[in-house]
Amino acid sequence: MEVNGISAIITGGASGLGEATSRHLASLGAKVVVADLEGQREKGEALAAEIGGVFSPCDVTNTDQVIAAVEAAKELGPLKALVNCAGIGWATRTVGKDGEYSSAHDLEVFRKVVEINLIGTFNCIRLAATAMSQTEPLADGERGAIVTVASVAAFDGQIGQASYSASKGGVVGITLPVARDLSAVGVRVNCI
């Protein structure tokens, strides 16, 4: 797919892998929506200004904010790419040092990691793919490409990585069925 002239959304785009991806796609001629949390606004706006894109405040679990990022991308050019870099994780043991129920792994922490890393990834996929499905296909029928970001922890998680490994294993698990599903509308899905 020719990247020059398309628009692309990069979640978690203001730092780390997301920032590097934003810079790279912009260097190839894409108009990039740097989609990241409101708390990353300063970094996101500075990066967007530097690469000729736009910053869109976006919590990947918030449907309205994801739609706003999709609409921002559509204003820049045909939305043809989404890279899901947003993610969190921190080490927490399943059983606390004192063996008390109260010190067991916090279920809300587990839930939040899965909510952002897995459910947020799917939320972005479903909404960006909907917009991509409405674009004019290329000669080969392609309308767009989506990249999900997993981790070796999906297959070989370490002590304390239960929530992170579960979330990234889920990302690996959704990639193939979603790729098969979206092939009908010309959207490719790959996982790194």
- Active-site pick, 30, 164, 178, 191: 164
Residue 115 contacts by C-beta under 8 Å, 6 or more apart in sequence? Answer: 61
Question: How many of the other CB atoms lie within 10 Å of CB of 92?
Answer: 18
Type and span of the H or E element at 128? helix 120-133
Amino acid, single-letter form, for residue 114: V
Report in angstroms the alpha-carbon separations of 48 from 23, 36, 37, 52, 70.
9, 11, 14, 6, 16
Q: Is 101 a catalytic residue?
A: no
Do 78 and 4 touch, CB atoms closer than 8 A? no
Residues annotated as part of the active site: 164
